[in-house]
Amino acid sequence: MNKIKKKLRNLLTKNNDEEIASSSLEYLYDIIQSSALDKMQHMDINDLSFLSIEYNNLENQFEQATSILKNYGIVLIKNAISEKLSDDVFENFKKIQKDFKSSDRLIRDQVTETYYIDSEGLKFKTYQEKANYSKTIFSIRNGADKGMIDVFNYDYIDKKNSSNLRKVYENPRIVDLINSASEKKYSPKNLNIYYNQDIQNTRGFHVDAYSKGKIKAFIYLTDVKDISYGPYSYVIKSNTDSEAEKLNKTFAKLSDKKHTEAFCFKIENAYPILGTKGTLVISDQAGIHRGHPQAKERERMVAVMNYEYEKE
């Protein structure tokens, strides 16, 4: 961190020209991102036990889980759902995907009685519009993460399996864990599915919002055994790193990047979050994170719950 800070400050002090400073920051942003990916590629990551507990032992490990989430920004809860439920959701999704992939109308937006395929990204202006839509939306991302399918409101097309997924997300002790770690009152909202296949151009390390206010929980529906599967990746302890937050906000103002992009963080704290199907990952989105690029012919599917805090 200190070396990165020194380089960035030297560049900004030396280059009063805004264009040169912005270009320098862009270069260093790329270096930091690639360095973190390289570090994760070569690390021995057989053991994430320091972040993990067992779902069926949640009551006994509740205080431990709360401490992990609060201090590291992320906690893994193993075996939260059965392998059968994971497989059922995956197979149902693939069946629907096969139907709309075979259509010659995929280049345009499609609507059926039960779902809407947003392939051009023009109909909905905000995340909230998608979350509040009356049908399931298959949103096919463009730009960074191009090709990734973000399924909004999966409940509408798979009620039985969605109900079983929600039982985990709405488990009072899971909600208590989140609230205890954050000291705010959160509640589960919309259920999404993320599906990645051969996604190699993923968005760099970033936060969703610097202020505490968003928690996400992911359940792996496919095994993510190694880095080639494109695991969710997280910079542990970055949820409480106020120094990095200040630097990132400052550098973002001097560059063309979004204000939530991460120029500066402890590379040694970047971890690929590996796990078997059924693993529940609870993540403070004020911490720095990204999806790792996948190898060719790899796929990953996760169920995603957004928890939002209730404003006083």
In order, the DSSP letters of 205-256 are: SB-S-SSS-EEEEEEESS-B-SGGG--EEEETTGGG-HHHHHHHHHHHHTSS
Q: How confident is the model at residue 103 (pLDDT cuts 50, 70, 90)?
A: low
**Residue tagged 């009063």 (tokens):** 16
- pLDDT of 77 > 70? The answer is yes
Domains of the chain, start order = 2-84+158-309 (2.60.120.620)
Residue 122 pLDDT: 72
Residues 241/220, Cβ–Cβ less than 8 Å: no
pLDDT at 29 over 70: yes
What is the structure's pLDDT at 124? 86
Residue 16 pLDDT exceeds 70 = no
Residue-level pLDDT at 98: 79
Look at residue 107 in the predicted model and tell me its pLDDT. 45
pLDDT band at 113 (very low <50, low <70, confident <90, very high): confident
Query: What is the reported pTM?
Result: 0.90
Higher pLDDT, 66 or 44: 66
pLDDT computed for residue 266 by the predictor: 93
| CB neighbours of residue 215 within 10 Å | 26
Over the stretch 185-199, which tens digit does the pLDDT of each residue have? Answer: 999 999 999 999 999
Q: Over the chain, what is the mean pLDDT?
A: 88
In eight-state DSSP terms, residue 174 is: H
Of 13-22, 214-223, 241-250, 258-267, the range with the highest mean pLDDT is 214-223
